[in-house]
Amino acid sequence: MLSLEETITAEYVLKKSRFVVHCAPVADLAATLAFYATVADPAAAHNCWAWKLEHTQRSNDDGEPAGTAGKPILAAIEGKNLSQVMVVVTRYFGGIMLGVGGLVRAYGGCAARCLDQAKLLQHHPSCRCRIEAAFEHTGAVHAAADACEALILEENFEPDGLRLLLEVRLDRLRLLQSRLRDGTRGSANLKRL
């Protein structure tokens, strides 16, 4: 999947209403809340938003007629095959009613135009794992983690052996399992968290 490389902002005027679009990469639900808090303008008529994480998505119309703002913003995100992304579209009402179709086109179109300007990067879903192994296999465990470009988050030496907490891309999990099995003769224990 693709994600955004950085936060991007754009502004559009449609029938005297001003739409300010903020798009950002987000890692989790806490990041979506923090991003919204930084860009939403309480003085604006509406702060509509949508976000998509790996397996979850949400949208909000913030007082616009149901389905006319949040869903079109989410459709723009999905149309670009993005994940780990949040888009907030703030509308400053210009005095002209846009109607249901006009709102859908305005919110979805502004979000899509802003996302068109963004630099994209490949996003790789990952998971956390715990590895337990005897001390004699420390080198093999580290070699397997390095070969899979796993990020070691925590390393502990317990009386009975090594304990690692790491994050690895999902598409490299089987390779990690195979390398551990081969490098430790099947004695290392890998558990996906």
pLDDT given at position 125: 78
Write the CA distances from 136 to 43, 97, 155, 160, integer angstroms: 63, 72, 15, 11
Q: If you ran DSSP here, which 8-state letter would residue 89 be given? A: E
pTM of the full structure: 0.70
The answer to whether domain 2-122 and domain 126-192 are alike in fold is no
The class (CATH top level) of 126-192 is: alpha beta
Distance CA 21, CA 9 (A): 5
pLDDT given at position 1: 75
Please list, in sequence order, all residues whose beta carbon lies within 8 angstroms of the beta carbon of residue 137, skipping any fewer than 6 positions away: 162, 183, 184, 187, 188
- With a cut of 70, list the residues of the chain below it in pLDDT: 123
- The total number of residues shown for the chain amounts to 193
pLDDT given at position 120: 87
- Comparing CA positions, the residue from 92, 90, 86, 62 lying closest to residue 74 is 86
pLDDT in tens, 98-122: 999 999 999 999 999 999 999 988 8
pLDDT given at position 47: 98
- Cα atoms in the Cβ-side hemisphere of radius 13 Å centred on 183: 24
pLDDT given at position 2: 87
CATH number belonging to domain 2-122: 3.30.230.30
Domain segments of the chain: what residues? Answer: 2-122, 126-192
